[in-house]
């Protein structure tokens, strides 16, 4: 395929942009793998581990399909990566909401429910003689941690949201490009297909002629 015919997305060839999308998906897959291992290590409920395993399986399947799609230049293989971008986009929205709830409530459970990771509880005491004493005028460390991780989750999710939206647009353009290329070859310029078919027909006709002579 002539790469110059590929459509551009902000002056970037969509096929080259698709390779960048694939690299970013590799990074996201690695994060999903780490999250799954952490969920198992923390002994989270089976539902969170199952969701993590399914998400990781879809991510790996998307990468394999992505590789075939870019190498074979076949639009069929890009369907799963497009679906994965959509799922990632939705999870970004959920992560943003979880981060907002962490900040507003002062509790970490919204992120714990989404990620399936429960960090160790910070021990506090109202006894002034205790090393874990917290003054009534001070902010509870659990609240401070929830606000901090809520802010981190929101920033990360916003960046992921923008990346997945861009990835979705790029993959849709690549999908349409490969689809049009396939139609272009099969119907508008079917020369190579007709030549191959004609050659096969001539070979069969020649074989029959030789058989009759013998």
Kindly give the confidence (pLDDT) of every residue in the chain, 214 residues in length, as a single tens digit, with 9 standing for 90 and above: 444 555 565 556 767 778 888 888 999 999 889 888 887 777 667 777 788 888 889 999 999 998 888 888 888 888 899 999 998 999 999 999 999 999 998 888 888 878 777 766 666 656 566 565 566 666 677 888 889 999 999 999 999 999 999 888 888 888 887 777 665 555 544 444 444 444 554 555 545 545 555 5
Domain ranges of the chain: 8-119+141-213
**What is the longest distance spanned by two Cα atoms in the chain?**
111
**Is the CB of residue 70 less than 8 Å from the CB of residue 15?**
yes
Sequence-ordered list of residues with C-beta below 8 angstroms from that of 66, at least 6 positions apart, any chain: 18, 21, 22, 25, 77, 78, 80, 81
Q: 125 by DSSP, 3-state: which?
A: strand
Instruction: Give the number of other CB atoms < 10 A from CB of residue 127.
Output: 9
Q: Pick the closest to residue 152 from 85, 100, 86, 93 (CA basis).
A: 100
């Amino acid at each position: 395929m002539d790469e110059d015919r590929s459509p551009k997305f902000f002056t970037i060839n969509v096929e080259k942009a698709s390779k960048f999308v694939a690299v970013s998906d590799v990074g996201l897959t690695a994060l999903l793998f780490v999250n799954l291992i952490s969920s198992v290590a923390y002994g989270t409920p089976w539902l969170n581990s199952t969701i993590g395993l399914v998400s990781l399986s879809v991510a790996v399947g998307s990468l394999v399909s992505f590789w075939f799609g870019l190498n074979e230049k076949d639009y069929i293989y890009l369907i799963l990566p497009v679906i994965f971008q959509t799922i990632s986009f939705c999870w970004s929205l959920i992560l943003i909401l979880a981060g907002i709830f962490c900040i507003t409530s002062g509790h970490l459970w919204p992120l714990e429910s989404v990620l399936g990771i429960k960090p160790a509880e910070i021990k506090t005491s109202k006894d002034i003689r205790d090393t874990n004493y917290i003054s009534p005028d001070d902010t509870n460390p659990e609240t401070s941690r929830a606000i901090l991780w809520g802010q981190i989750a929101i920033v990360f999710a916003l960046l992921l949201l923008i990346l997945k939206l861009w990835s979705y647009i790029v993959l849709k353009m690549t999908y349409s490009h490969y689809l049009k290329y396939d139609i272009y070859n099969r119907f508008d310029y079917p020369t190579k297909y007709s030549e191959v078919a004609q050659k096969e027909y001539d070979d069969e006709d020649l074989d029959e002629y030789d058989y009759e002579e013998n």
